[in-house]
Amino acid sequence: MPKLPLRIEVVRSNSKALSSLSIESANSIVETLERHYTDVIITNIDTESDLTALIARKPDLAFLGMHYVRSEAGLHPKIWISDSLEKNDIRHTGSGKFSHRLGLNKHLAKQRMIESGLQTSPFQIIRRENEEIINEGKLSFPLFVKPSNKGGGQGIDEFSVVRTVEELRAKVATIHNVHHADALVEEFLVGREFSIALIGNHHSQKLTAMPIELIAAKDSNGERMLSKVVKSSNTEGVLEVTDPAERLRLKAFAINVFHALGARDYGRIDVRFDKFGVPHFLEANLIPSLIDGYGSFPKAYEMNLGLDYETMLMQIVRLALNREPKKILLFDN
């Protein structure tokens, strides 16, 4: 079959702080899409000028692997890539600014769940500028502490589950001083952990939810944590969700979360059960890792649908290409 004459730019950044897409993932995407399209390249957006150049080229599609770039003028600290592309009638994969902002800020996403009537563990944010930690009886130990705006298991380790005020202070200090982030403190959920990949259908717009159970090895405290070490080494166990009632419950919950976030096309919702087996929202990743055989999204796609990596990428691309380019200004904050 002849290749379609389209220009697709896989957008990422050389800055690890900005890019959600590793160079390995970007290369894998390019190598796959080159079989179907004539002009597929990697574009690194490190500055506002790089984004301006991308917009001037006006590709047929931007395959998004990052959320924002820092403003050079300083008028707005963050320039959201999806927002800039939409304002210039350029198609891109995945969600828009509103959803990306929620996905990047875990506490905002959790608050969105509460407002939408969806279960998430009680929480509070301890800001970097606030050195004093006051529980005030709002949360019950044990607690789970992680950065409010980091992905890939960053900041999660054997000290993340805390059972005393002293342990809480120590972990929060690490989040503030080592990871340079606000600390998200939430009541610890003792149940099993799941990741639900979601992808749309470019014909029906119906979402397909694909749950898998994730099992990390026990750490020194006997807890199973999907830490940065576990995620980067790809060592967590992955199980198919076979119980029909459990499977239905997870799928319905993830779809409701996806809609509450205003998300689009594809993404991953992480969920943990409480002691009663009730699913609770942990976080969302709307630009998940897309390396073949690595990361929860590709694994869930293959395990649930029996379809390969190439089919998955083509489905994501078609969702974006079939969407009419238009200015989407539903949310502007």
CATH topology for 101-119+189-321 is D-amino Acid Aminotransferase; Chain A, domain 1 (3.30.470)
pLDDT digits (tens, 9 = 90+) for 11-50: 999 998 899 999 999 999 999 999 999 999 999 999 999 9
- What confidence score (pLDDT) does residue 129 get? 78
Whether 243 has a pLDDT exceeding 90, the answer reads yes
- What confidence score (pLDDT) does residue 155 get? 84
d(CA 151, CA 65): 13
By DSSP bridging, strand 4-12 and strand 61-64 are: parallel
- What confidence score (pLDDT) does residue 75 get? 63
Question: Do the first three CATH levels of 101-119+189-321 and 123-187 match, i.e. the same topology?
Answer: no
Task: Spell out the domain ranges in the chain.
Answer: 4-92, 101-119+189-321, 123-187
| Contact in structure between 58 and 27 (CB atoms under 8 Å) | no
Residues 6+ apart with CB under 8 A from 185: 123, 124, 125, 126, 139, 143, 144, 145, 168, 172
The answer to whether the Cα torsion of 150, 95, 5, 297 is positive or negative is positive
Q: What mean pLDDT comes out for the span 42-71? A: 97
| Contact in structure between 196 and 250 (CB atoms under 8 Å) | yes
Task: Find the angle CA(302)-CA(307)-CA(311) to the nearest 5 degrees.
Answer: 115
Q: How sure is the predictor about 332, in pLDDT bands with cuts at 50, 70 and 90?
A: very low
pLDDT digits (tens, 9 = 90+) for 154-209: 888 888 999 999 999 999 999 999 989 999 999 999 999 999 999 998 777 799 99
- What confidence score (pLDDT) does residue 314 get? 97
- What confidence score (pLDDT) does residue 333 get? 30
Q: What mean pLDDT comes out for the span 221-242? A: 68
- Lowest pLDDT segment from 87-91, 122-126, 230-234: 230-234
pLDDT digits (tens, 9 = 90+) for 255-307: 999 999 999 999 999 999 999 999 999 999 999 989 888 789 999 999 999 99
Kindly report the pTM of this predicted structure.
0.91
- CATH architecture for residues 123-187: 2-Layer Sandwich (3.30)
